[in-house]
Amino acid sequence: MGRTNYFIEGLQGAGKSTFVQRLSDKFTDYKVFREGDYSPVELAWCAYVTEEQYRKVLADYPSITSEIREKTVTERAHKIICYTQILTDVPGFHKDLERYEIYNGNLDKDSFEEVILERFRRWDGEGQIFECSVFQNIIENQMLYLMMTDDEILRFYQKLERVLADKPYQIVYLDAADISGTLEVIKKERSDDQGNELWFPLMIRYLEESPYGKQHALRGMEGLVRHLERRKALEHFLMNEVFQGNVTIVQSKNYDIDDIL
């Protein structure tokens, strides 16, 4: 076994990005993968396209083809475009590329799961740190857009655990005790200089427009808290049922990183 890989998990606002930075400051020789980066296992904020689709994207946006190529990685028959890292005022570019993500219900259940599992199978890294690559983006899509039951999600994570069984990894889960209070904090933190909220309206729209959100009439802060309470309970169940022995649970923003390591 090589050096341990760390998967940093937790609800939105639990302090994952801060923990990733502190961990990378400790392990300066580790490779860090944050949301939106090209990652060998996860595809958050990236477009996953075929060669034909890639040629169409280049043809549709000729003024930024060099930027697109710079942020593209080839994986077998697919290209991965880290499109959220492309700063451009070209109208509609980011919204257009969003439809090539594997999330938001863009792929059916079986196709979505196979993309994730196959990339984890091919991954053989060591000494790497990943921000929310096991739970957050995967499980949000499964819950909100694919409308999977808890049993279906459990079966997926049992498959993932078998894939990971011979790989050196540890899940560090930052547990937010007060979900509502945590959301109020990040609403303010993720605002512009004039105090306009940037993250919260997008998160609420994502929730309310999802099939699960519509079916269960999830609205505003109350709806988001209800969803995250269910997600947190499910993640704790999965950690106990599936990943026991490879999980460290710590209180969000109240920990000593040396004790954890």
Q: How confident is the model at residue 91 (pLDDT cuts 50, 70, 90)?
A: very high
pLDDT tens digits, one per residue of 132-188: 999 999 999 999 999 999 999 999 999 999 999 999 999 999 999 999 999 999 999
**What pLDDT sits at residue 114?**
97
**What pLDDT sits at residue 258?**
84
Q: How confident is the model at residue 261 (pLDDT cuts 50, 70, 90)?
A: confident
The predicted model scores a pTM of 0.94
Between 148 and 253, residue with greater pLDDT: 148
Q: How confident is the model at residue 257 (pLDDT cuts 50, 70, 90)?
A: confident
Q: If you average pLDDT over residues 186-211, what whole number do you get?
A: 93
Q: Indicate the fold that domain 5-43+106-256 takes in CATH.
A: Rossmann fold (3.40.50)
Angle, CA of 18, 34 and 240, to the nearest 5°: 75
pLDDT tens digits, one per residue of 95-146: 999 999 999 999 999 999 999 999 999 999 999 999 999 999 999 999 999 9
Residues of the chain with CATH 3.40.50.300: 5-43+106-256
On whether the CB atoms of residues 21 and 38 are closer than 8 A, the answer is no
Across the chain, what does the average pLDDT equal?
Answer: 96
Using only C-alpha atoms, what is the Rg of the chain?
A: 18
**What pLDDT sits at residue 1?**
60
**What pLDDT sits at residue 195?**
87
